Structure 1
Amino acid sequence: MVFDDLAPRPWAGATAGRRDGDDRCPGALRLHEAADGWLARVRVPGGRVTAAQALALADAAAEFGSGLVDITSRANLQLRGLTADAAGPLAGVLRAAGLLPSASHERVRNVLASPLAGRDPRALIDGSALCAALDRAICADPVLAGLSGRFQFGVEDGAGLLAGADVDVLLAAVGPDEVELVVGGRRTDRRADVSAAAALGTAEARAFLARAGGAWRISSDRGANRGHMTPLAPGSCLEQADGRGATTALVPLGRLDAAQLRGLARLAPELRVSPWRTVTLVDLPDARRAADGLRALGLVLDAATGWHRLTACAGLGACPRARLDVRAAARARGTRRRATDPPEHWSACPRRCGLPAGEVRAVTWTEDGIDADGRIVPDLTAALEAVT
């Protein structure tokens, strides 16, 4: 795994932006108004969703909204097109499904983990169990309700998939029963056994709130030696430590509809969503049969797909600031790109919401025209040609 050198508490002298007013990150209880209706962001720590929970989300998306569910860049789920009065009924559905264990902490339950956590034979610890323990510890600490909705926890189980993640407080396995605290991408000299790891992570978050008040997140000084998250390739299959299987599919532009979500619930007892806009089905008796089911749902299982690392903002009709239908253009790009092409993001306004970290080929609407990776062009057709 690749982390920066030992450096305790990097937030002591630098923080990643300071809060300006109220934290407006959407949640499951406080909805966000968009052009296509209201939006609810449901935190699913570790990206873990049981089949029963997937069915509940699909039903809620269809009953209260447009039936569309987005996978976010932090492996959470967003229900789109909700009615203005949907917050109360939606909260009831989420509580019954076990997706809203704490009303006060629901927006700070941001815990990133490998889609294979608890199943990967390469792992040093059970990342799924630690992720659940960390979530419980966050919800049990009243102080941590004061974190911003952008603050990110993480669990790296030793398999290396999250070694380069942009995470504020990361618990990284260094042995079969030991984790190290990584803060803002920098290693520390603080370690704990797995049973005390969640307390180690929440203590660091409390210290951040106490001594670096007014900041959204811990600084992530990502130098040239920083790693990158390693995505699971679409179509990859893994034999779990218990002999069952797991398989991964890519969700084009990270958007599912209610029917697809119901279909996923029928294929596996549990699914995992990821920041790479993938869905991994775990605990499968027959991974090959599940792969056929994923293809039938319209998901991508080709490792050479051009959909890999292609993203877009909500776009015209979904955001009041949007000036272009960038999602339609991005869908056209998905059929033209190569898997080896650099990350690419299409934005319908200069805010460039959802832009991934690092070097990205960006297509952005501006007052002067469309900036197609540094070249100003008049329309989306020209933008598609410019980046091809």
Structure 2
Amino acid sequence: MINQKLKEAFQEYKEELTDLRRQLHSAPELSWEEYKTTDFVCSYLDELGITYRRTEPTGVIAEIKGGKPGKTVALRGDMDALSVEELNKDLPYTSIEEGKMHACGHDAHTAMLMVAAKALNEIKDELPGNVRLLFQPAEEVAQGAKALVDQRAVEGVDNVFGIHIWSQMPTHKVSCTPGPSFASADLFKVTFKGKGGHGAMPQDCIDTAIVASSFVMNVQSVVSRTIDPQQGAVLTVGKMVVGTRFNVIAENAVIEGTVRCFDPLVRDHIEAQLTHYAKNVAAVYGAVAQVEYTRGTQAVINDEESALLVQHVAAKAFGEDVIHHEKPTMGGEDFSFYLDEVPGSFALVGSGNPEKDTEWAHHHGKFNIDEDALSTGAELYAQYAWAFLNRN
């Protein structure tokens, strides 16, 4: 099940792996702007002699052809950074791009997949099948995976596997539980239209500040009073823009937020109820509501057979004590678009270490990883591919 040559390779490449991650971390690029990162990956693959093709406008799909016939397994690592100002100014590899940083670990994912490719390429003659490498752009805007699927990323693929570094778990721990892992992530925008006027003459107006406030307070009961309490769901209003001046009654109000859940039926229900609440709250005050509901990522549901294989591989490669069972998160992940096409699973690799100050939340300006986790992630990529292709 575990390839000893791979295990030895990751000990040898530990320093290179750290260096690759730091180079990526210092030069972050936002979603759909990963041109230099794409070039960086391609140059590395050129050195290894691994064939690849660039995807549009950014990203790379590479393939390691095994020396024996067999199936094809895909490994995915995302590449994009966030519009977050890095607060770790004392790091020797801090971001050189103002207002941009790798605040979610995608630099680690890319580096881990690069070195996993190197190790797998060295044993390609022994591989009974092929390994496809998906260096994916634009995960943070939930568009990159769908774009790669549209560009035939999983055509002919039998299984897909991805990893996310996770600061909420201790370093080296591995979690991959069958069933729900990440929630679906949708966006909504509600626009209320009332009647503006002088702040001293409310009797002549329809105040959308009142309408919007009422909606924000009441819409929470969609989750608390219309959904089974045992079903996970979150409805968050994150932005409200109302009015133009202190003494002018607001004619317009715009509210934006997000909906997270795991069950497709719950998702449908929330979308319908959100529209129902908006229009009826508006009607109470004589206003008009327009609702835009945009479906983002699907829920990430780990295939049972694949998830159990990840657990088995991790236990054999690193010891039984690395297995961790992290609860499903309401965070979103566009890895779900691959799982819509082929079976597979998505694992979390812990990188939280209080002694190294790496327990900050993802997307925070102080986010960083314990680089000891890099070898765990890189080897898990490779050993999973080896184990899947060698299954009877």
Short-chain TM bin: under 0.3
Higher relative contact order structure (alpha carbons within 8 Å, sequence separation ≥ 6): 2
TM-score of the superposed pair, with normalisation by structure 1: 0.23
Which structure: larger Rg? 2
TM-score of the superposed pair, with normalisation by structure 2: 0.23
